[in-house]
Structure 1
Amino acid sequence: MFGLSFLVLLVAGVGWGYLKLNGSIDTFSADGISGDRPPGSSNGQNVLVIGSDSRAGDNSELGGGTGTVGRSDTAFLLHVYADRKHAVAVSIPRDSLVDIPACKMPGGEWTAPQRDVMFNAAFSVGETAEGNPACTQNTVEQLTGLRVDHTVVIDFAGFSALTSAVGGVPVCLPQDIYQRDLSPKRPTRGARIFAKGPQTVSGQRALDYVRLRHGIGDGSDIGRIKRQQAFVASLIKKVKSRGLNPTTLLPLADAATDAMTVDPGLGSADRLLSFAMSMKNIDLHNTKFVTVPWRYEGSRVAMVEPDADALWAALKADRTVDGQDASGKGAAEGRETASSPASPAAATPVSGTGISIAVYNGTTVRGLAARATELLRARGFTVTTTANASSQGYASTVIEYGPGLRNEAETTARLFAGARTTASDTAGIQVILGSSYARNPSFAPETSAPSAVPPTVAAGARSGDDDPCADLSYG
């Protein structure tokens, strides 16, 4: 949750905290990271930040739940643009329904893929106190089509220590908060624990603030995400305002490194500081916070397509929230901005030559699979099976692919607007047609206009320098 601000303080503390950093960085094993990953990018970098709420060890004194299994209520994907002057943190709601690919268990065996389960279940695969960051990374890569360059896990105890070390974080609340708002099973309202308006919190009170869900707006995780984004923005601002001196920075480096577990690629001071230094020129206004496009689906959250895919495509293309090209290319290479967008260009036509697929109708519209099959064969695909799916409740088209067929599945998905790809233990590629295709049974247009962040996402973005009292609840 505060991984971005942690990286900012590393930039500030480079040199002074070097020896401390080398002695305090814990890493998780890379053995559980999938071998079937999206291609790397020479442009921006993606860092997955996971907030761990395990109640084991020092965390047990900080409240908030029971049990010792590592769980995660907070996660965001931080995209650092290639120009190293912009960054955006995309929050992924914990209740989002996603597909979790095969993940490695502590004993070495791999799980079967899971479909339509809560996003935070990935971190708990294996039910260990440390959680399963590799499984969460695999899930995010499959969900977004983006390669995660690094993963950082932050725990409660370290988070509490960091907020105290920085001297407290300015926050704001839209109303008075009472004990029952933090603990809904409490029989009475209890004492007031937060007053309405601006205030500064640290330690346990900072944890209570970022955990707080009930009693504000609709009491949802979505509203809590808004406050967490405001909190991280305020923490970054506070860290930057403290100035560069050993007296202030050494306690921060101490608290921050004790708080985290990272992938092996960040597991030394040299690597961590090298990455952190790449972010030193990102100012507060160009640090953005957004939430993946979503809608309620019962008590859970479903991602809205094609908007979510458009957001991931914009990050892959290094397009900022406000439409700028932040790929770092010079003007001679054709930099486009929000005021001078590039003209749409013809994309490479999709060819199915050498790709075998099975087509299933996931709707109640009769004959849909047969019609899609005709169009697919015209593009060179070999269609081996045409039938009804086991369920006719698919809202959008799903491309399931077996081992080693990610690229072929992504090629197929280009033809279906809003389609998502998901890994499967079953060999081959299965196209399950959804109602979105039934409403318009034709292939998606093959033009490649510059990828843009969807307007609804851009409109809801928070900047690092925004008013900390603005936009703090939902519903």
Structure 2
Amino acid sequence: MSSSSRRRRVIRTVIGLAAVLVLSVAGAGAWFYHRLDTNITTFDAGGVATERPPAPVPVTPGASVPVNVLLLGSDTRNDGNADLGGGDEGVGHSDTAILLHIYADHKHAVGVSIPRDTLVTVPSCRLPSGDWTKPRTNQMFNEAFTVGESAQGNPACTQNTVEALTGLRIDHTIVVDFKGVAAMTEAINGVDVCVPNDVNSHNIKLKKGQQKISGQPAVDYLRARYGFGDNSDIGRMKRQQAFLSSMIRKIQSQGFSLPTLLPLADAATRSLTVDEGLGTAMKLVDFAQSLQQIKLSDITFVTAPWRFSTVQKGRIDLVHPDVDTLWQLLREDRTLDGQATGELPGAASASTAPATSEPSPAASPLTAEQLATPVTVVNGVGTDGLAGRGSAAIRAQGFQNVALGQTTGGRLRTEIAYDPPFKAVADQLAALFPGSRMTEEPGSEGITVTLGRDYHPTATATAGPATGAPAVPFAASAEPTGPLPTDVPTGIAENSRTADTDPCSNLT
């Protein structure tokens, strides 16, 4: 055989081996991704409200926009979680809730902890049967997750509740259980935390001091409420914020390459429930990689401004106007001191923002008791988002007890029906809806605003999936509702920490 023939045979052999190697690697990679994808549990988008806050519009076509991610920690004991959390199987609760706002520049982020005991309005939510509940006022925030009494929880209902509360459109929702926490911390070889004192309470034992934890100890650290400080859920949220900061620091130190992220994704996907937009391993990895430019010093955790409730003992009320300012800052994609990072079109500056997006009532200011009057907003036209905009205008005036009634249709003129004791409040609402007709309805125990074709809001909410879900009011319009601060409001500053804060600081 000539030397040239031998060279051709060697070349063919090398090419063949290379092809086999490439196919083997590709096949293994495809198998791995398929395994991760089959691990992931997604929740049905059919439970997401049809009437939602509008999606942000990019400054220019193709430009980045803010991303809002709702992180929920489920305390379900099903599917082996009882081995880590103790207790019996049953209905899952969302005892941890963090709304993560990633700014349009993808270089800044704010994580807002919402106390589980916060009294909120839980809007209409879908049950496993397909039926929809009626809105309920003065409910604990974590009860939204229990609607339908499923061990897996109801992430869509909690998402609807957060959108109604904040006026922010949630792009993604992620639910992690005890097994997920244990697996992810083990996948990154532990997280550095600080335990402020020895803990031996409710079957949880932790030693004082800085230490690296993973698996069961990590679950215990995040769950523990008693044995720290005043045994409050607020203190527990501070430790959860410090834990997440440390976890982010660890992931950043290891890098955002596939060899680092895929084992983490493998661990996470076995215990995650996500929306369909994050329903594959590569979508999760791509999302994680999109955050790699955010520095620890540019991540802020804040607990929504709160106080102990005056309505129900042991519960939490959000503090106004500080919490309203917080939601407005995030809707306008501004930092907590009112600065723009990736300004959205139409966002007014702090010095030029109008007082409200709707006309203000001309009458005397209402009392706190009057502002607690039950107000039901009905879409009397059928136009998607109309009742949500009307609800937003009413909430912008300080009303706290606003719910949505069933859509009717065919109404030409807006009508305000009121129980006679609430006439002064109805008069205030009439100023928001010029030309509306006032009707007494004795015994109605509140006020019903039925919007007609004469109502023209300044903008219309973006409708969600066409699922047949009842519309759900959201708390505020996407337009400015008042002047923004030039520094951080006290109620926000006192409840904040940056991700690079000393891990032993302010933990109780």
Question: Structure 1 length as normaliser, TM-score?
Answer: 0.76
Secondary structure (helix, strand or coil) at the match of 1:58 reads: coil
RMSD: 3.7
Q: Are 1:458 and 2:493 matched, yes or no?
A: yes
Deviation at 1:16, TM superposition (A): 12
Percent identity between matched residues is 47
Amino acid of the structure 1 residue aligned with 2:216: Q
Q: 1:242 aligns with which of 221, 238, 254?
A: 254
- Given the alignment, which residue of 296, 306, 309 partners 1:284? 296
Tell whether the 8 Å contact from 1:399 to 1:429 is kept in structure 2 after alignment.
no
Q: Which moved more, 1:420-429 or 1:35-44?
A: 420-429
Structure of greater Rg: 2
Q: Is the 8 A contact 2:188 2:264 kept in 1?
A: yes
Identify if the C-alpha distance between structure 1 residues 93 and 203 changes in structure 2 by more than 3 Å, giving closer, same or farther.
Answer: same
Distance 1:169 1:306 in 2: 36
Shift, 1:326, TM fit: 1.4
Deviation at 1:460, TM superposition (A): 3.0
Are 1:313 and 1:451, in contact at CA under 8 Å, matched by a contact in 2?
A: no
Amino acid corresponding to residue 191 of structure 2 in structure 1: V
1:334 CA displacement: 12
Q: Of the candidates 202, 210, 217, which is equivalent to residue 182 of structure 1?
A: 202
Q: Secondary structure at the match of 2:244?
A: helix
- Kindly tell me: are residues 287 and 346 of structure 1, through their superposed partners in 2, closer, same or farther at Cα, counting changes over 3 Å? closer
| Alignment match of 1:314 (pick from 317, 324, 329) | 329
Code of the aligned partner of 2:496 = A
In the other structure, the counterpart of 2:320 is 305
The one-letter code matched in structure 1 to 2:404 is S
Contact 2:110 2:302 in 1 (8 A): yes
Q: Give distance in 2, aligned partners of 1:285 and 1:58.
A: 37
Q: 1:128 to 1:279 in 2, by over 3 A?
A: same
Post-superposition CA distance 1:418-440 (Å, at most 9, x none): 334633336776799xxxx99xx
**Is 1:16–1:249's contact at 8 Å kept on the other side of the alignment?**
no
Kept after mapping to 1: 8 A contact 2:265/2:285: no
Matches within 5 A, 1:278-427: 278-297=290-309, 298-328=313-343, 342-346=350-354, 350-351=358-359, 393=369, 399-403=375-379, 404-414=386-396, 416=397, 418-420=398-400, 422-425=402-405
In the TM superposition, residue 313 of structure 1 has moved relative to its aligned partner by 0.3
TM-score (norm 2): 0.71
Matched AA of 2:135: P
Larger deviation: 78-87 or 252-261?
252-261
In structure 1, runs of 5+ residues without a counterpart are 1-13, 184-191, 353-371, 377-387
- Residues 328 and 342 (structure 1 numbering): CA distance in 2 closer, same or farther, change over 3 Å? closer
Gaps of 5+ in 2: 1-28, 58-64, 380-385, 408-414, 433-479
**Aligned equivalent of 1:226, options 232, 238, 252:** 238
Residues in 2 aligned to 1:430 and 1:160: alpha-carbon distance in whole angstroms: 54
Cα separation, partners in 2 of 1:21 and 1:306, compared to 1, 3 Å: same
Contact 2:302/2:496, CA 8 A, preserved across alignment? yes
Q: Is the 8 A contact 1:399 1:422 kept in 2?
A: yes
Contact map agreement 2:53 2:168 (CA 8 A) in 1: yes
Instruction: Classify the secondary structure of the residue corresponding to 2:104.
Output: coil
Sort the Cα spacing of 1:469 and 1:92 in 2 relative to 1 into closer, same or farther, 3 A. Answer: same
| Kept in 1: contact 2:371–2:400 (CA 8 A) | no
Q: How does 1:232-271 map to 2 (within 5 A)?
A: 232-243=244-255, 248-271=260-283
How much has 1:133 moved relative to structure 2?
Answer: 0.4
SS at match of 2:194: strand
Shift of 1:405: 1.0
Q: Pick closer, same or farther for the CA change 1:374–1:324 going to 2, 3 Å.
A: closer
Partner of 1:186: none
275-284 or 422-431: bigger deviation: 422-431
> Aligned partners of 1:69, 1:328: CA distance in 2, in Å?
42
Q: Which amino acid aligns with 1:409?
A: S
Secondary structure at the residue paired with 2:151?
coil
Q: CA offsets, 1:98-147, max 9 Å, x none?
A: 11011110011111111101110010111111110010011111111111
Of residues 234-243 and 144-153 in structure 1, the stretch that sits farther from structure 2 once superposed is: 234-243
